[in-house]
Amino acid sequence: MAKESKMNREGFLKGAIVSIVTLIGAALGLPALPYLAGPALQKSGDQEWIRLGPTSKVELGQPTLFKFKVKTQSGWIVDEQELSAYVLSNDGREFVALSNVCTHLGCRVRWIDDEKTFFCPCHNAVFDKDGKVAAGPPPRPLDKFEIKVQDNTLYIKGG
Which of residues 104 and 144 has its CB atom nearest to ligand FES in the complex?
Answer: 104
Contact (CB, 8 A) for 79 and 97:
no
Query: How far from the centroid of its chain's Cα atoms is residue 107's Cα?
Result: 19
138 is a site residue for ligand FES (CB under 6 A) = yes
Question: What DSSP assignment string belongs to 9-74?
Answer: HHHHHHHHHHHHHHHHHHHHHGGGHHHHHHHHHSPTT---EEEEEEGGGSPTTS-EEEEEEEEEEE
The piece of 39-47, 56-64, 66-74, 102-110 that touches ligand FES (CB under 6 A) is 102-110
Query: Of residues 53, 62, 136, 149, which one binds ligand FES by CB under 6 A?
Result: 136
Print the binding letters for residues 33-62 with ligand FES: x by CB under 6 A, - otherwise: ------------------------------
Contact (CB, 8 A) for 57 and 97:
no
Query: Of residues 49, 70, 137, 143, which one binds ligand FES by CB under 6 A?
Result: 137
107 is a site residue for ligand FES (CB under 6 A) = yes
Which of residues 122 and 149 has its CB atom nearest to ligand FES in the complex?
Answer: 122
37 contact partners, CB below 8 Å, separation of at least 6: none
What single letter denotes the amino acid at residue 101?
V
Binding site for ligand FES (CB under 6 A): 102, 104-105, 107, 120, 122-123, 125, 136-138
